[in-house]
Amino acid sequence: GGMEILKNREAIAINQDPACNQLYRLTLDRGPDEMPVYARLLANGDFAIGVFNLSEGAYRFVFGLDEMGITPESGKTLAPVEVWSGEKPSLDNGVFDVTVEAHGCRLYGKMTCKKCGRPIDSLDIGAYRKLVDKCAADYWCRDCLSEWLGWTRHYLDDVILMYRKRGCLLFPPFEGNEL
């Protein structure tokens, strides 16, 4: 349902990225106006990308990552995993290729733990910013952070829950015990 989409921690992490970079619309040489593609440079140097199909039929988006400024020389990357479904689009030879159903959208750009490489979410980012570096652009997952702190993962989750109940703005609002 709709609430699962709105509460998606990975989408929230992209939305609340500490760099606060503005979205920009990619100007592609092809494709009608009802097929917008937006990109956002994240604080860690990766890109998030939103692909929107506002038409009545399915649409295949095909464009080069160089159109986003992502070249081998740029040092920037696109984390090509869709945040709601886990879908991985084709990225052969730097060409992004995905088909989106009518009135559908996809959001790509899972952030990853800089220590172990696993995907992270807004709780990981909030915990790292609260306990390690409030201005960080790179983050660790809760497993790596608890190990570094010498805490159990359960204890770290309890600490996060305490901060959320107190209304700490580094975390999503607490609406029950959903850790």
Give the residue with greater pLDDT, 2 vs 161: 161
Q: What is the mean pLDDT of residues 93-121?
A: 84
In this predicted structure, what is the pLDDT of residue 127? 92
Q: What is the mean pLDDT of residues 104-121?
A: 83
**Which of the four pLDDT bands, split at 50, 70 and 90, describes residue 146?**
very high
Choice between 90 and 52, residue whose per-residue pLDDT is larger: 52
Mean pLDDT of the chain: 82
Question: Tens digits of per-residue pLDDT, 36-68?
Answer: 989 888 877 778 889 999 999 999 988 877 777
Q: What is the mean pLDDT of residues 116-123?
A: 81
Residue 160 pLDDT greater than 90, yes or no: yes
| Range among 19-33, 70-84, 101-115 rated most confident | 101-115
Phi first, then psi, for residue 114 (nearest 5°) are -75, -10
